Amino acid sequence: MRVWISAVFVLFVFVQLYQWIKGFILPLPIYVLAGSFLAIASNYEKGLGTLLKSASLQNQALSSGISLTENTPKTDSQ
């Protein structure tokens, strides 16, 4: 008899837990943080230092007006 009572109790707890999780809604900042964490985790092998270095180089180039691509002017030497 104890097995039946404990099985019914465990089943009841699982059903109630399922209904609570089904109706649970996370706020938007949690989704933003989770997305940021996934983006960092998926790019972890690239290294955080290289990402920060490239971002700082781009910010320096934009603030000084320098283009990161080399454009050499064509000269007519003939």
Note the pLDDT of residue 9. 95
Beta carbons of 61 and 67 less than 8 angstroms apart: yes
pTM above 0.75, yes or no: no
Cα–Cα distance for residue pair 7/35, rounded to 1 Å: 39
DSSP state of 45: G
Half-sphere exposure of 5 (CA within 13 A, CB side): 2
Task: State the chain's mean pLDDT as an integer.
Answer: 78
Note the pLDDT of residue 52. 64
Beta carbons of 14 and 6 less than 8 angstroms apart: no
Note the pLDDT of residue 47. 67
How confident is the model over 3-32, as pLDDT tens digits? Answer: 989 999 999 999 999 999 888 887 888 889
